[in-house]
Amino acid sequence: MSATVTALHLAPARRAPVTPVPHAVALADAGLEGDHHARPGSRRQVLLMDDDTLRHFALAPGEVREQVTVRGLDVHALAPGTRLAIGEALFEVAQPCDPCAFIEGLRPGLQAAMQGRRGRFVRVVRGGRIAVGDAVSASSPGEPAR
């Protein structure tokens, strides 16, 4: 099964509800245009989450405030530095996202249950348009970008 983008969400402001969008523009070394996390050099440019984990915890896409939700890719198994080609953009896997008090607010006990499973931050290496339905292809650190 090939990996695909199943949902995209943007948060226009801190603590504002996320908004589902059919497509987004990734900005090199910043994040997704229109998302409040999009800042040059930020370590929290884009949060990537897989829908298997969301289903496991009975959560809807966007509920943990991820910007990109994918199917067919074990996000938590990705090594730092792995490159992900999505649409016109290229992302690089960074650190895991630790569950915070926001996650606990969704459901008591969820913060502890999601340790190591809230998704991965990714950095935008090459900007471009991404969309729901786009294929996601991964290349190991050191492999040439696609």
pLDDT digits (tens, 9 = 90+) for 40-85: 988 889 999 999 999 999 999 999 999 999 999 999 999 999 999 9
Look-up of token digits 């900005």: 27
Distance of CA 7 to the CA centre of its chain: 10
Domains and CATH numbers, the chain: 3-139 (2.40.33.20)
More confident residue, 128 or 117: 128
Number of Cβ atoms within 10 Å of the Cβ of 39 = 14
Spell out the residues 6+ positions from residue 92 whose beta carbon is closer than 8 angstroms to its own. 81, 82, 83, 84, 122, 123, 125
Give the 3-state secondary structure of residue 75.
helix
* Interatomic CA distance for residues 61 and 73, integer angstroms: 15
More confident residue, 98 or 82: 82
* Interatomic CA distance for residues 3 and 141, integer angstroms: 18
Q: Could you read off the pLDDT of 10-51 as tens digits, one per residue?
A: 998 888 889 999 999 999 999 999 999 999 988 889 999 999
Tokens of 49: 């989450």
CA angle (117 as vertex; 104, 37 as ends), nearest 5:
75
pTM: 0.91
Tokens of 62: 């966007």
* Interatomic CA distance for residues 53 and 42, integer angstroms: 25
State the pLDDT confidence band at 101, using cuts at 50, 70 and 90: confident
For residue 131, the model assigns a pLDDT of: 98
